[in-house]
């Protein structure tokens, strides 16, 4: 059932390609249809698979021979982690289309690339054959380049190429590690369950773990490999920044967990402190840099780096509460960052044509766009980690986990959270509640010309806020499937070495 999320997305790509040029309205309807269908399938699949997953099982979605002579199988399966992220992908896909309803320029191609990206992301989260996972991973990266380079804004070609090259360097590292693991194990399979059973020699793990982990972590925005993220986010069109922060960065974190950490537990044990240190640097550094940005979108871009630091920190705590917090944080950040980018990119920038905080401060946007202001305030609260929103539950769990594993680092992380509050409030204040200066009359006219917030935008914002609140108030919806997954055979290593 869940496999249809992938097929529906690629089917959407095919239909869009056959569509005649220049029919933007039909293109977005087809894209919307495909994304909604994907979300519904993801939801239905979630409900259907949840009972088994709660018992700590892994649900097989599809399993067929693919390349027999190399032992590669078309093996799709799901545990609670994949399920959560598939759901996130569905939500982000629908939201992204809602917030790009105004795209007219080469709309057909835009949505074709968009759906190809979504299809690839679904595929990554569902693949249990590592070569298949790698394949979907790369499929997800290529459309990214075109979406940013064609429909982006500020320094779009630079941002797009930087993102593409960073991603490919990362995936090249992953590929080396995967092939080496395949050959060393001699198991003639890429199945993650099989490979996880194989005790790789310690020497091998010592270099293979950092190679694969960093390869994926580049896409997760790990400091110091995060520099693609702010430029990429800023250059990207709204829907693409939403996806980039919402799901693509999660691909990296998911890869770290599913591939690097699962295959090479000894390497993980040896390197985990280093990863934790880098993650915490990312949290604090990202927040500090966000504090001084002049461009509204850069603030959100760096905040993503900071929030992804929580994910990485949670992953290496190696205890169930930290790990499940990390997965929850992936979901939560996907929703909240999507919302923030939607406000900045679509609601504000598309109307005012500027993202300079100092310029925005003079526009008194809270009067001009009350809806955008309210949305941003709510999203900002969620991003700061106010109780009641999903971010709070997730970051709290990560912190508790980190407290058990790395007390010192947990304290430093606290500083990051405080700065997080500061930069969000600063951006909020400057962008929406700036003192309305005595404006020349022409500015005044401009201020009246701002188009009203459209229905799709309202709908998307309400949806994302609703989801964040829902998970914040009742996190068990997701935690009930995430936590048991850490008892599945895939996480044997967690019990052996990771308890402390």
Partner 1 sequence: MSYLELLKLAAPETIVVLTALVVLTIDLTSMRGLDTRLRFVIGGMLTCAGCAAAIAWMLVMPAHANALQGMLVVDPLTQLVKIAVLALTIFTVLISIESNFTTHVGEYLALILLATVGMMFLVSAEDILMIFVSLELISLSLYVLAAFNKRYIKSAEAALKYFLFGGMSAAFMLFGLSLLYGLSGSTNLGQIATALAGKELDPLLIVAIVMTVIGFGFKVAAVPFHLWAPDTYQGAPTPSAAFIASGSKVASFFIFAKVMLLGFAGAEGSGAFHAYAAGWVPVIAIVAGLSMILGNVVAIVQSSVKRLLAYSAIAHAGYMLLAVLSHDQQAVASLIYYAVTYGLTTIGAFGVVAVVESGAGDDKLSSFAGLSRRAPVVSLCMMIFMLSLAGIPPLAGFFGKFYVFTEAIKSGAPNLGLLWLVILAIAMSAVSLYYYLQVLKQIYVADATKGTNTQPFLVPWVTQITLAILALGVVLLGCFPGWLVGLIEHAITSSAL
DSSP category for residue 452:
P
481 is an interface residue for partner 1 by CB under 8 A: no
Q: How far apart are CA 100 and CA 107, in angstroms?
A: 10
Residues recorded for the chain? 500
Residues 6+ apart with CB under 8 A from 429: none
Cβ–Cβ < 8 Å for 323, 224: no
Cβ–Cβ < 8 Å for 390, 379: no
Applying CB under 8 A, among 165, 455, 462, 473 the residue interacting with partner 1 is 165
Q: Which element (helix H / strand E) includes 59?
A: strand 59-67
CA dihedral defined by 468, 472, 473, 478, rounded to 10 degrees?
90
Q: How far is the CB of 22 from partner 1 (least distance, A)?
A: 10
Stretch that binds partner 1, among 62-70, 88-96, 294-302, 423-431 (CB under 8 A): 62-70
Q: How far is the CB of 135 from partner 1 (least distance, A)?
A: 4
The binding track of 173-192 with respect to partner 1, each residue x by CB under 8 A or -, is --xx--xx-xxx-x------
- φ and ψ at residue 74, rounded to 5 degrees: -85, 85
CA-nearest of 1, 109, 120 to 59 is 1
Q: How far is the CB of 315 from partner 1 (least distance, A)?
A: 25
Subset of 13-42 contacting partner 1 (CB under 8 A): 17, 21
Q: How far is the CB of 156 from partner 1 (least distance, A)?
A: 8
Smaller CB separation from partner 1, 165 or 462: 165
Q: How far is the CB of 311 from partner 1 (least distance, A)?
A: 25
Q: How far is the CB of 274 from partner 1 (least distance, A)?
A: 22
67 is an interface residue for partner 1 by CB under 8 A: yes
Q: How far is the CB of 425 from partner 1 (least distance, A)?
A: 38
> Beta partners for 75?
63
Q: How far apart are CA 393 and CA 407, in angstroms?
A: 19
Smaller CB separation from partner 1, 96 or 170: 170
Applying CB under 8 A, among 14, 70, 425, 473 the residue interacting with partner 1 is 70
389 is an interface residue for partner 1 by CB under 8 A: no
145 is an interface residue for partner 1 by CB under 8 A: yes
> Beta partners for 59?
78
- φ and ψ at residue 190, rounded to 5 degrees: -110, 10
Q: How far is the CB of 94 from partner 1 (least distance, A)?
A: 26
Q: How far is the CB of 137 from partner 1 (least distance, A)?
A: 9
263 is an interface residue for partner 1 by CB under 8 A: no
Applying CB under 8 A, among 139, 219, 399, 482 the residue interacting with partner 1 is 139
Q: How far apart are CA 400 and CA 407, in angstroms?
A: 9
- φ and ψ at residue 78, rounded to 5 degrees: -145, 140
The binding track of 304-343 with respect to partner 1, each residue x by CB under 8 A or -, is ----------------------------------------
Q: How far apart are CA 23 and CA 44, in angstroms?
A: 32
Cβ–Cβ < 8 Å for 343, 379: yes
- SS3 of residue 19 by DSSP: coil
Q: Tokens standing for 56?
A: 């700590």
Applying CB under 8 A, among 56, 66, 102, 433 the residue interacting with partner 1 is 66
Q: How far apart are CA 74 and CA 61, in angstroms?
A: 10
Residue 346, phi-psi category: left (phi > 0), alpha (psi -120 to 50), beta (remainder): alpha
- φ and ψ at residue 127, rounded to 5 degrees: -80, 130
Q: How far is the CB of 459 from partner 1 (least distance, A)?
A: 31
For 399, half-sphere exposure in the C-beta direction (CA atoms, 13 angstrom radius) is 16
168 is an interface residue for partner 1 by CB under 8 A: yes
- SS3 of residue 76 by DSSP: strand
Q: How far is the CB of 360 from partner 1 (least distance, A)?
A: 29
Applying CB under 8 A, among 64, 68, 435, 441 the residue interacting with partner 1 is 68
The binding track of 115-134 with respect to partner 1, each residue x by CB under 8 A or -, is ----------------x--x
Smaller CB separation from partner 1, 149 or 276: 149
Q: How far is the CB of 26 from partner 1 (least distance, A)?
A: 17
The binding track of 78-117 with respect to partner 1, each residue x by CB under 8 A or -, is -------------------------------x--------
CA-nearest of 423, 257, 424, 241 to 329 is 257
Stretch that binds partner 1, among 144-152, 317-325, 379-387, 401-409 (CB under 8 A): 144-152
- Exposure class string for 34-44: b at 16+ Cβ within 10 A, else e: bbebbbebbee
Stretch that binds partner 1, among 37-45, 61-69, 236-244, 407-415 (CB under 8 A): 61-69
| Site residues (vs partner 1, CB under 8 A) | 17, 21, 65-70, 109, 131, 134-135, 138-139, 142, 145-146, 149-150, 157, 161, 164-165, 168-169, 171-172, 175-176, 179-180, 182-184, 186
């Amino acid at each position: 059932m869940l496999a249809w999320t992938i097929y529906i997305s690629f089917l959407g790509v095919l239909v869009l390609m056959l569509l005649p040029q220049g029919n933007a309205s039909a293109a977005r309807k087809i894209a919307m249809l495909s994304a909604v269908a994907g979300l519904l399938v993801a939801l239905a699949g979630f409900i259907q698979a949840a009972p088994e997953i709660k018992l700590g099982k892994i649900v097989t979605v599809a399993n067929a021979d693919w390349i027999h002579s190399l032992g590669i199988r078309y093996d799709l399966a799901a545990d609670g982690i994949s399920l959560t992220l598939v759901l996130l992908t569905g939500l982000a896909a629908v939201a992204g289309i809602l917030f790009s309803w105004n795209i007219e320029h080469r709309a057909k191609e835009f949505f074709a690339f968009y759906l190809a990206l979504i299809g690839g992301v679904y595929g990554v989260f569902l693949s249990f054959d590592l070569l298949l996972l790698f394949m979907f991973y790369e499929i997800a990266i290529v459309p990214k380049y075109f979406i940013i380079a064609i429909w982006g804004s500020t320094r779009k070609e630079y941002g797009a190429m930087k993102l593409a090259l960073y991603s490919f360097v990362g995936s090249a590292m992953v590929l080396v590690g995967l092939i080496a693991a395949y050959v060393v194990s001699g198991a003639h399979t890429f199945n993650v369950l099989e490979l996880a059973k194989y005790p790789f020699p310690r020497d091998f793990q010592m270099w293979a773990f950092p190679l694969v982990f960093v390869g994926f972590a580049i896409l997760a925005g790990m400091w110091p490999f995060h520099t693609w993220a702010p430029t990429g986010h800023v250059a990207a069109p709204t829907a693409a920044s939403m996806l980039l922060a919402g799901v693509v960065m999660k691909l990296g974190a998911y890869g770290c967990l599913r591939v690097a950490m699962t295959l090479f537990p000894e390497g993980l044990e040896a390197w985990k402190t280093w990863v934790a240190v880098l993650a915490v640097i990312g949290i604090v550094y990202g927040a500090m840099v966000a504090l001084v940005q002049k461009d509204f979108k850069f603030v959100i871009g760096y905040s993503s780096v900071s929030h992804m630091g929580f994910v990485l920190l949670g992953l290496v705590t190696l205890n169930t509460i930290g790990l499940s917090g990390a997965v929850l944080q992936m979901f939560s950040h996907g929703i909240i960052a999507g919302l923030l980018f939607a406000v900045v990119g679509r609601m504000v920038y598309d109307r005012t044509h500027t993202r300079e905080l100092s310029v925005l401060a003079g526009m008194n946007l809270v009067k001009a766009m009350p809806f955008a202001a309210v949305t941003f305030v709510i999203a900002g609260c969620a991003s700061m980690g106010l109780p009641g929103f999903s971010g709070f539950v997730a970051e709290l769990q990560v912190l508790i986990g980190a407290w058990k594993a790395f007390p010192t680092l947990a304290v430093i992380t606290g500083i990051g959270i405080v700065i997080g509050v500061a930069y969000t409030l600063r951006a909020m204040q400057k962008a929406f509640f700036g003192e309305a200066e005595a404006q020349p009359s022409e500015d005044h006219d401009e201020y009246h010309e701002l188009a009203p917030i459209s229905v799709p935008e309202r709908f998307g914002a309400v949806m994302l806020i609703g989801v964040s609140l829902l998970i914040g108030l009742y996190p068990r919806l997701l935690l009930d499937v995430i936590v048991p997954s850490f008892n599945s055979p895939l996480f044997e290593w967690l019990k052996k070495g990771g308890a402390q």
